[in-house]
Amino acid sequence: MRGTTTTHTNMTNERVTAVRQTLLAAYRETGLWGVTQPDWPLPEMLKRGEDTHLAWLTLVYTVSGGRDPAQLWPAARAAYAARPDLFDPQTLAYTRPNTLIEPLRAYRLTQKAKSEATIWQRIGQALVMRAAGSVSQLLAEYDFSAPALWQMLQSNKTTFPVLSGPQTGPRWLHGLASAGGQPLAGADRLPVPLSPAGEKAMAALEISGTQVSAEIFAPLDLLGRRGCAQRKPRQTSCPAAGECPVAGFCGYGRKSL
């Protein structure tokens, strides 16, 4: 699978590519257990790729680590409909973080209200400081190069907390490209450390590695959360195989087909 650091010795490149393509197609088109690219649907009143939409994506990705995306993104759309000011960098730049705690909690945007309210405000402030509140302007300053933007984030960890993290940063940049419609070169190839759910999925697929490309991170994570999690440790076959698009590639799924 493109982006993995190593692959299992009995894996062929063709087989890994087939797993990747099958999983991506399901994630983008037919869905995995009813979930299809959860960051793609737009909040009401937003147009894809406009700065307001990109700021919304940016802030939600800031608090997305470890969250179930099928729950987080619908909550974020509802929050925008009720409180668009929560996603406005110009407003956030002059907002006290403690005033964000209750609304972020009320709209189920946070699991760590105090710390994430501070980070939420700081990201809004960073966008104003660095790019007049415009995500597209920030991207343009680095010629829409995802590797260049990732390098910038690594050099500005204090300014961009969480978004400079090894898992959130690449996922954010890929999200701006895939859901935000931005022409970010190289975003799909940025390496991302696996989530626990992704690790479970990789093990079931008999592929070893500690990181994957940003493009495949979300489908793998969703596969692990909704599919692989259904199999208990002592089960030798997977009860989710009938609904799993890659069951034929899985050591446990094959036994159930």
What pLDDT was estimated at residue 172? Answer: 98
Q: How far apart are CA 200 and CA 233, in angstroms?
A: 11
CB within 8 Å of 223: residues ≥ 6 apart: 23, 32, 197, 198, 201, 244, 246
Torsion of CA 207, 212, 213, 219, to 10 degrees: 70
- Cβ-based neighbours of 249, under 8 Å, separated by 6 or more: 15, 18, 19, 22, 205
CA distance 31 to 38: 10
For residue 3, pLDDT over 60 is answered with no
What average pLDDT does the chain have? 93
pTM: 0.92
Q: What is the structure's pLDDT at 5?
A: 43
Contact 138, 130 (CB under 8 A): yes
**H-helix segments, 63-143:** 69-82, 89-92, 101-106, 113-131, 135-141
Residue 109 has pLDDT above 60, yes or no: yes
Q: What is the CA radius of gyration of the chain?
A: 19
Q: What percent of the chain has pLDDT over 90?
A: 89
102 phi, psi to nearest 5 deg: -65, -45
Per-residue pLDDT tens over the stretch 111-126: 999 999 999 999 999 9
242 neighbors 33 (Cβ within 8 angstroms): no
Q: What does the pLDDT read at residue 8?
A: 33
pLDDT of residue 1: 61
pLDDT number for residue 12: 58
Please give the structure tokens belonging to residue 201.
Answer: 């999925």
Q: What is the pLDDT of residue 15?
A: 87
Looking at residue 227, the DSSP 8-state letter turns out to be I
C-alpha 200/C-alpha 221 separation (Å) is 9
Q: What is the pLDDT of residue 40?
A: 97
Kindly report, residue by residue over 51-104, the tens digit of the pLDDT: 999 999 999 999 999 999 999 999 999 999 999 999 999 999 999 999 999 999
pLDDT at 25 over 80: yes
Instruction: Using CB atoms within 10 Å of the CB of residue 102, give its burial: 0 to 12 exposed, 13 to 18 middle, 19+ buried.
Output: exposed
The yes-or-no verdict on residue 2 having pLDDT over 60 is no
Q: Which range has the worst mean pLDDT, 93-97, 220-224, 232-236?
A: 232-236
Enter the tokens of residue 25: 């197609």
Burial (0-12, 13-18, 19+ Cβ within 10 Å), 169: buried
